[in-house]
Amino acid sequence: MKIGLCVFPKFTDTHLTNQSTHELGQRLEPSVLYLASERPGDVNIFIEDNDPEKAKDCDLVLCSVYTRGWKEFQKFSEKVGKEKIIAGGYHPSADPAATAKYADKVVTGLTSNIEEIIESPQKGVVRGKPGSRKMHRELVDMKKMRQIYPDVFPGMMTGRSTSSVGCPFDCEFCATPKLSDRKMTTYEIERVEEDVADLKQRGVKAVFVSDESFTTRPQLKEVAQVYGKGDFDVLYSFGTATTLTDEKMRFLAENGWHSLNLGLEEINTSYRKNRDLASAIELAKKHGIKINLSFIVNDHGKSLNESLQDYHALFQAFCDYKPAMVAANFMMPFPGTGIWDRYKDRVTEDDFIKFDSKTPVFSKEKLADWHKHMAVAVQLAYYHSDAYKEVRNFHNGDNLDLRFRELEKQFGMENEGWRKWFDPEKPAKTQIPEGLNPNEKENEMPELSSGKRKVQTYNLPIIK
């Protein structure tokens, strides 16, 4: 049987429709490669551009659908025919009934039993069985992978690896609890060893261990040792702050961990996983592991003034925590997450195209444009700050540096042009663009003192 593998949005998507990312966009091996059929005689092809003509050549098409690719998937199904399609992934798990109109079989949750599902005569919605599978990297051109990351340089072969899926935490904005039922499925050590050998054999030098909550998994030390033996130039993973101990940090450092990605998330909001964020960052510094922080900008129901305070508070948090990289995400209310009910009346299916994390979902026109500029400007302000100079040299020619040079051009922020949008040294009142009402919600500008804008305090502990 000839089986096509597709991901929605398509692998070659550059986000250009939303003017958010282009040439140097991040690209990881798509998780649908785990689902290549291992039945004798089956031939798998990865259709990277989702061309329906190539799909029509296949007996069956496995489609992994993310919310942003929902509309694209609907059109694809109409062209290819739903009787050929098995759909799974995040969006089908969150809305199986809607997906069933476009696919003969809809698999919800994590799936390790794809061969069984292919063979089963049962149509409609089926629950997948969690478990580990091999990543079939031979189906994709590994040279097309790209990681925007500190110390990952152009030409460096990059790859991702997974040793567990799922997360026991329940952050309300996150899609993982829905897919995993808040259970962790850990892969056998031998499976991880095989994956490390595969990455080595392909010349991969930078590895992202993409487990959603890597530092929560059992047998962490043994798995870290397996990755450590790979002797990769850059090795990193997610970390969950409250799970990090001195002991864990020590053996991650001993096994060559370059950095941990932590989620600062929405400023002024407390998360159970982040109760110990400040001490986790201190521990990382003690053991020489760099920290990267992702953050969420929630543009819902906020006047420009209120959002401006958030950006200043974020900047202050960056300067306190001193991450090597910061990554902006706009709040995206995914169906099935804890925040869906709160926001579901504010978004339509047409808004899903904006769920690329770089496009504000709730703001319209000028205000949306302002947010897009601010999210880039606050990051550039940090990378050019005195605080960042204590961390590392930003302009070292790595993919992070190059990506931000690209963004500077895209947003007209070369030669410190970001200061027009976000300047921590200037009163905020001077940074309100023309044509925007800063007081949409009748909020007054905060008091200014000594010519400098007061930064809103945030309720995360500060590292001294």
Interface ranges with ligand SF4 (CB under 6 A): 167, 169-171, 174, 176-177, 212-213, 240, 263, 273
Report yes or no: 104 and 77 within 8 Å, Cβ to Cβ.
Answer: no
Whichever of 5 and 267 has its CB closer to ligand SF4, that residue is 267
For ligand SF4, give the closer residue by CB, 209 or 308. 209
Separation between Cα atoms, residue 303 and residue 438, nearest integer Å:
6
Least spacing, CB of residue 415 vs ligand SF4, in Å: 37
360: which residues sit within 8 A by CB, 6+ positions away?
A: 297, 299, 330, 354, 367, 368, 371, 372
Which lies closer to ligand SF4 via its Cβ, residue 31 or residue 399? 31
**Closest approach of ligand SF4 to the CB of residue 282, in Å:** 20
Distant-in-sequence, close-in-space partners of 393: CB < 8 Å, separation ≥ 6: none
- Beta-bridge partner residues of 146: 27
Residue 455, SS3? coil
Please name the residue ranges forming H helices in 106-255: 114-119, 176-180, 189-201, 220-229, 246-254
In the complex, minimum distance from the CB of residue 202 to ligand SF4, in angstroms, rounded to a whole number: 27
- By beta-carbon proximity to ligand SF4, the closer residue of 240 and 316 is 240
CB of 180 to ligand SF4, least distance (A): 9
The tally of CA atoms less than 13 A away on the side-chain side of residue 125 is: 13
Taking residue 212's Cβ as centre, other Cβ atoms within 10 Å add up to: 22
Asked whether the bond before 323 is cis by omega within 30 degrees of 0, the reply is: no
Q: Which is nearer to ligand SF4, 169 or 236 (CB)?
A: 169
Is the CB of residue 161 less than 8 Å from the CB of residue 195?
yes
Toward ligand SF4, which CB reaches closer, 150 or 239?
A: 239
CB of 213 to ligand SF4, least distance (A): 5
Q: CB of residue 333 vs ligand SF4: minimum separation in angstroms?
A: 15
Query: Rounded distance, CA 56 to CA 79, Å?
Result: 9
Nearer to ligand SF4, 171 or 252 (CB): 171
CB of 177: closest distance to ligand SF4 in angstroms? 5
Distance in angstroms (rounded) separating the CA atoms of residues 34 and 50:
18
